[in-house]
Structure formats: structure tokens, C-alpha cells
Amino acid sequence: MFRIEAEVDKARRDLLRSRLRDTNTAASPVLRALRGERERDVPLHLWAMDDTDDLAGGLVGHTWAGWLHITYLWVAAPHRGTGLGSHLLTQAEHLAHTDRSCTAARVETWDFQAPDFYRKQGYEVACTIPDYPPGLTEYTLIKRLG
């Protein structure tokens, strides 16, 4: 018999993640080959501060298995259209490629956000999920680096 609990528990989350990673690594020759530096999630954060030291934009992501995963890219309204978003993205790609040996990047965005922005930066749509959430379309875009 099992007891099912529904609660946020960071320690259990980390334990589950570790056990899943161990199971996946044991089952996959590709993941076994990635053991070491390229296996670890390594955060990659960039911050753009304006003249008043306010956050003008930023990029939050991580690198893993030779990929840059972009989680958040945001630019404050007064700075949109200035090239700041492109600069943050280009800088993240450069760091991921030159410092961390990443060969590709990926990002998820909704139809009302920035799929056209990423396409202009050389990203290609790899996946489209309509109605996620209802009324929106989510895109996964990828780009080869280097």
C-alpha cells in the first residue's frame, strides 16, 4: 500500500531528480558518455542595468549536455526595440559556445511573445503545441551554435 502526498517539498524534488538522472544515465549510452562537466546543469545569467541601476533586461538559462537552455529572456518596455534582447541572446550564445562547448541552443515561447524575434536570430521551430494553454500556441525553437 502507498500513501500519496501532495505538497511542495524541495528535498524530495531534488532526490527524485537525482534518482531519475541516475536511471536515465544508466539506460542511455549517450547520457553515460556525457558524464562529467557537460552533464551538470550550469546556470547562465545575464543582467542589463540602465543608467539608474534598474533592471533593463535579462536572460536566465543553463547549459547542459552541450546545449544552452534559455528559460527567460525579458526586456523592459522602454528598452524594447533597442537591440538589447538581441545583445543578451548573442552574449549568452557566445558564452555557452566558447566557454562551455555548447553546440546548440533551445527556447520555448508563446505565439504572443517572441517566436518572430527568435527566428530573426537564426532559430528554427522544432515543435509547435497548439492550445497550450488553451487559446495560445507554444513554440520550441532551436539553433546550432558556432
Name every residue whose Cβ is closer than 8 Å to that of residue 3 and which is 6 or more positions away in sequence. none
**The pLDDT value given to residue 4:** 87
Note the pLDDT of residue 74.
98
Query: CA triplet 45, 54, 50: central angle to 5 degrees?
Result: 85
Q: What is the per-residue DSSP string for 72-131?
A: EEEE-GGGTTTTHHHHHHHHHHHHHHHHH---EEEEEEETTSSHHHHHHTT-EEEEEEET
Rounded Cα gap, residues 104 and 96, in angstroms: 9
Q: What angle do CA 68, 65, 60 make, to 5 degrees?
A: 30
526586456: which residue's cell? 75
How many CA atoms within 13 Å lie on the side-chain side of 100?
A: 28
* 0.75 surpassed by pTM: yes
The pLDDT assigned to 70 comes to 98
State the DSSP code for 36: S
Q: How confident is the prediction along the chain (146 residues), in pLDDT tens digits per residue?
A: 988 899 999 999 999 988 998 898 889 887 777 765 555 689 999 999 999 999 999 999 999 889 999 999 999 999 999 999 999 999 999 999 999 999 999 999 999 999 999 999 999 999 999 999 999 999 999 999 99
Instruction: Give the model's pLDDT for residue 36.
Output: 59
Pairing assessment for the beta strands 67-75 and 104-110 based on DSSP bridges: parallel
pLDDT at 24: 85
Secondary structure (DSSP) of 75-89: E-GGGTTTTHHHHHH
